[in-house]
Structure 1
Amino acid sequence: MDLGAKTVDLGATVEGALWELGEWVLGDPVGFCKHPQGSFVVRGLLRALGGVPKTPAGLSPCPPEGAEPGTQGAEPATQGAELPPSFRLLLQRLAEAFETHLLELVEPASASLCLQEALRVLHRSQSEACARLCDALIGRLAPGRPGDPDSSLAAALEDPRRARLLEAAMTVGGAGRLRRLFRAGLRGRLLALAAHPLANHGLRRLLDHAPRDVVGEVLAELGPALARGHPGVTVALAGACRRHPPLQQEALHYLLQAFGSGEPPNQVLRVELLAKLRPPGGGAEEEGAETPVTLQGSLLLQHLLHFRGAEPVLLGGFRALPRPVMAAMALAPPGARLWHALMTSPSVPPPARRRLARKLQGRLSSLSCHRSGSRVVDAVWAAATGPGRAAMARELAAQLPALSSDPYGRFVARKLELDLFLRRPRLWERRHVAPETKSPR
């Protein structure tokens, strides 16, 4: 395919230019998708036709409690201007072309990216072609012939060439399709999938969008062996239970079995073990370095902060951590996000926040001069009452010269107004203490 053999008249309207480009792609969809540069053209065209902005890959935010699973991303794609009707027609024609040439588009990496983008755009634009392309893709990648284990969905999730496309299909498949997939090809094999270095990603995508009954079955099968699977699956399972509150007590029971200490009713979670969750074979830390909190551990603990009834066992675990460990957590980006969640979560009562904040006393100056630590100091300051703010200011004001010469510390000193605290303490108290302590008229 010669990409330079044709040019689009950009002097015409945008609608006409995109239609002309779409007709050009429809003339040779396989050639465009397989070409490294041509695949960029196809993906950009799909996003333009669907009115979907380009977003970096990342973790999907957990929807609010009570939200219907499988509906993430189903909102209207456009905000403000309505797309021309011809865009939707051309998008459906492209989806039909992909479905026709599906056998040729599954293998090459660039073509696989085009199929993934097509599923995302069709889902966001609420096109009927999304379900057809999704079914065709699943039927091609995991036909599920009876008695043939090599054709099962579990085997497809362990195959690097098919796993990414199946994950994309699960993301947009909807509750009914995910329920059928789980019961036809995954039930009874979850422990092996959770420990597999590649298949665990597919299981996580399933949990991100599965309905409550599927999440309950996964929890019943994986719960007794939570500590043996991939930590990413544990995090995804906690996130799924966060969406479905009736499952939270059962999930908490299994976590206490795997990571608990003590006996009921005084049993607490061992936060230091949960915080250090990392994939088998090591994490992103340097060799020989001990990290008090990993990304998976931080995400899991943040999910647990939203569990109903988890406050005693979770906050008890945090209170049991030594001061040096709590301060070391604040020096890592995942730990800083965890501290921010502790200081802002409605499930953490103010007295518990004050007790946790006191674990940083004596270390506020060193934290303020650190990129992640300064964010923790900012979060603790925002959550503190008047007396707590005064205690922080007294500790930090003694180190004002060191803070003023540090690129992070100077911003902490400016926000806490330490200069004003030293020069005019009464005025500082009126700004930061009096509003917190004065009684109502």
Structure 2
Amino acid sequence: MENVNKSKKRKKRLSFFQHAKKEAKRGRYGKGSQLDDDTYQYFLRVMQIKPVDFETQEERNVFVNNVFAQLEGQEANCSFNQLASRVIENLIPWVEDEVLRNFGIKFCQDLRPICTDPFASHVLQTLVSNASSRSLSVDNSEQKSLQSLVLQICSYVLNNMEEFVWDTYANHIIRTCLECLSGIPSVSATGQNNSSQKSTLNDVSERTRVEREVPPEYKSLLREYVNRLILWPQLKEMSYDTLTSGLLQTVLYALRAVDEKLCKMFVKKLLNNCFLPGVGKSGECEDKKLPEDAQSIPELFYSEPAVRLMETAIAVSPTTKISTQFYAFIFIGRLIALSKDPLANFAVQRLLANCKCKVEFEAMFDEIADGFESIFSRGNIGVIVNLAQACVRLSTRQSQFIKNLMKALHCSDAEQNSLAYLVLGLVKHEDWKPNKEELSVQLNGSVLLQTMLKFNKPIKIVNSLMEMSASELKNIFCDPKGSHIMDAYMMSEYVGEKSRERMVRKLQGTYVALACSKHGSRALDAIWSAATMKQKLIIMDELAPKDAILNSNQFGHIISGKYGLSLYKYKAEDWKDVQGKEHRKKALFADIIGDVQKDSVK
């Protein structure tokens, strides 16, 4: 039976274009509004042509403008069709400003059905996002007309906000309008950010970064949105609903970028009306099971939308006082119980990441200190990582952190040489297999070790790394999750020159393997960037005899060219002169770029 299952090949999923073409052969012309066969086939042909493939901008403009000319009089009707809406979305970023303005004017003649349609709503999002970004360009001749278009759409959505917030598609249009009015990166509009860009926008500083200064009219309309929300009697209900919670998070990001005073007022409103114990939405905790030792857990932790909203509120809080209120009213006395919960622990992480008061953090640390092992056992390592990062940021409780971590990992002082191994694998000492070369490096374990290397006294971590064999270190640095440890080791101001020297010598015999590895080569690069001339000579003496192996490898070839391996092999003195000039140049600008090689720990 097992062989039969293996022999069954999984069918390859059809692309959107392939599926649309297949449906057309069956006489089905897409979901949504029905198009005639000729129009549908036309959009299929257009979808096959990618604007980026044109050699010149003039050819691209002719193609895109021609498509929008064909849409004239049918702008809205075509947008209600699944295929046509996808084509229009893809082409809007490439259309000329005047054509975009004309399309927008005709498209927005009747916005109500568009805002709640599963296909046309995405076209509207893309339209308002592109019109907004172009309206902020100072050299744009259509600036005023595009601003008017953006204000028209955003004003209409505001006037109908009471209805639109509860609709799946209209809700996301409101989010896009808020992002456009504040000038922050748009993650709601489709087609505006690829997956890698969206992942960077999880960072609050990136999420609230103003790409361009917005005009006063935009800010005024944004404030009107928020002032109406503050007065809503359903604000508490919105906080506990997945759809509307996401909208309120967008409001917070937009306000943080534009108006900190109003942001503070809105956060306080959420804290007092939605988050404080006893004011949560009833009926949300029927199936929720928190740890047995959880006592008087606020009801908001029973609801994921509410927790996510609170995390955002903590992250954008413009003053330390508000963050302190969150800690005092919601978290204090409950940190261990919350840290052990699969949902609530993320809120604790956000609280720790945004703590700016040393005294307040020390109180948090002291409360969590006794719960290291139970938190570790639950697998919520993110709490421990954020605790370590706060120890670095506020320069406090570092030695206590290491002591509590060793206790949680059942690692005694006599066994501290295994600490790095235990942290990387996130295993307790009794589960450690010292003869096992292949260590399974955990992401959180790697981040935790990197953070601890930034402690004022990371000597226990340094010594435990030095206790590993060269082969074990090589395997760690060739791992995608472990390669960044070398960056932290070589760049930490508290890892001294002697410790770096020990690492360079410890890795002798592995440099060729590191150079020929995708991730090992970047670890080698981290060593090279911080190495002295003496240390570089050790590395080059090992690489030079193996230049043929390096040059035949994709990554080794890059290392060989970057380090000047050929020059070193045949003209070593010339190579030393070149390297000497680079070191002198680096020393000359050390005061400007910062000297990261300080001998603080030997």
Q: Does 1:186 align with 2:326?
A: no
Q: Which whole-Å CA distance do the structure 2 matches of 1:137 and 1:108 have between them?
A: 14
**1:356-405 deviation per Cα after TM superposition (whole angstroms, max 9, x unaligned):** 12222212122212211110111112222223222212222222222222
Q: Which residue of 2 is the match for residue 283 of structure 1?
A: none
Shift of 1:333: 2.4
Of 396, 408, 416, which residue of structure 1 is paired with 2:543? Answer: 396
Of 181, 185, 189, which residue of structure 2 is paired with 1:49? Answer: 181
Q: Which whole-Å CA distance do the structure 1 matches of 2:209 and 2:466 have between them?
A: 45
Q: Which residue of 1 is the match for residue 370 of structure 2?
A: 224
Q: Which residue of 1 is the match for residue 449 of structure 2?
A: 301
Q: Which whole-Å CA distance do the structure 2 matches of 1:292 and 1:330 have between them?
A: 12
Shift of 1:115: 1.1
| Shift in CA distance, 231/76, structure 1 to aligned 2, threshold 3 Å | closer
Q: Which residue of 2 is the match for residue 2 of structure 1?
A: 113
Shift of 1:57: 4.4
| Correspondence 1:196-207 to 2 at 5 A | 196-207=341-352
Q: Which whole-Å CA distance do the structure 2 matches of 1:435 and 1:209 have between them?
A: 39
SS of residue matched to 2:508: coil
| Correspondence 1:355-370 to 2 at 5 A | 355-370=502-517
| Correspondence 1:317-332 to 2 at 5 A | 317-332=464-479
8 Å Cα contact 1:226-1:258 kept in structure 2: yes
Report which structure shows greater RCO (CA 8 Å, sep ≥6).
1
Moved more, 136-145 or 345-354: 136-145
**1:208-231 deviation per Cα after TM superposition (whole angstroms, max 9, x unaligned):** 112333321221111123132121
Of 513, 518, 522, which residue of structure 2 is paired with 1:371? Answer: 518
Q: Which residue of 2 is the match for residue 270 of structure 1?
A: 419
8 Å Cα contact 2:466-2:503 kept in structure 1: yes
8 Å Cα contact 1:34-1:108 kept in structure 2: no
| Shift in CA distance, 294/58, structure 1 to aligned 2, threshold 3 Å | farther
| Shift in CA distance, 162/215, structure 1 to aligned 2, threshold 3 Å | same
Q: Which residue of 1 is the match for residue 221 of structure 2?
A: 90
Q: Which residue of 1 is the match for residue 304 of structure 2?
A: 160
Aligned AA for 2:223? Q
Moved more, 391-400 or 89-98: 391-400
Give the TM-score taking structure 2 as reference length: 0.62
Q: Which whole-Å CA distance do the structure 1 matches of 2:491 and 2:562 have between them?
A: 19
Aligned AA for 2:345? N
8 Å Cα contact 1:260-1:269 kept in structure 2: no
Q: Does 1:112 align with 2:248?
A: no
Shift of 1:243: 2.0
Aligned AA for 2:424? A
Q: Which residue of 1 is the match for residue 590 of structure 2?
A: none
Gaps of 5+ in 1: 62-71, 279-288
Q: Which whole-Å CA distance do the structure 2 matches of 1:59 and 1:219 have between them?
A: 29
Moved more, 251-260 or 155-164: 251-260
Q: Which whole-Å CA distance do the structure 1 matches of 2:223 and 2:570 have between them?
A: 69
| Shift in CA distance, 183/269, structure 1 to aligned 2, threshold 3 Å | farther
CA RMSD of aligned residues (A): 3.5
**1:322-348 deviation per Cα after TM superposition (whole angstroms, max 9, x unaligned):** 222211111122311111111112111
| Correspondence 1:209-248 to 2 at 5 A | 209-210=354-355, 211-229=357-375, 230-248=380-398
Gaps of 5+ in 2: 1-111, 132-141, 187-196, 286-295, 428-436, 588-602
Shift of 1:92: 0.9
Q: Which whole-Å CA distance do the structure 2 matches of 1:149 and 1:246 have between them?
A: 41
SS of residue matched to 1:399: helix
